[in-house]
Amino acid sequence: MEGKTIFKELVINEKIIAEEVRLIGEDGTQLGVKSIAEANAIASSEGLDLVCLNSSSNPIVCKIMNYGKYKFDAIKKEKEAKKNQKVTELKEIQLSMTIDDHDLEVKAKHGLRFLKEGNKVKVVLRMKGRQQAYSNNAVEVCKKFFSLIEEFGVIDKQPEIMGKNVIMIVTPKKEK
Q: Which CATH number describes the domain made up of 90-172?
A: 3.30.110.10
Return the H-helix or E-strand segment holding 170: strand 165-172
Q: Which CATH number describes the domain made up of 2-83?
A: 3.10.20.80
Q: DSSP letter at 12?
A: B
Distance CA 33, CA 41 (A): 14
3-state secondary structure of 22: strand
Distance CA 144, CA 105 (A): 10
Predicted TM-score (pTM) above 0.85: no
Q: DSSP letter at 109?
A: H
All structural domains of the chain with their residue ranges: 2-83, 90-172
Q: Note the pLDDT of residue 9.
A: 78
Would you write out the chain's pLDDT as a tens digit for each of its 176 residues? 444 556 677 888 888 888 889 999 988 889 899 998 898 899 899 899 899 888 888 889 999 999 889 889 988 988 888 887 777 789 999 999 999 999 999 999 999 999 998 899 999 999 998 988 988 999 999 999 999 998 999 999 999 999 999 999 999 987 65
Q: Note the pLDDT of residue 28.
A: 86
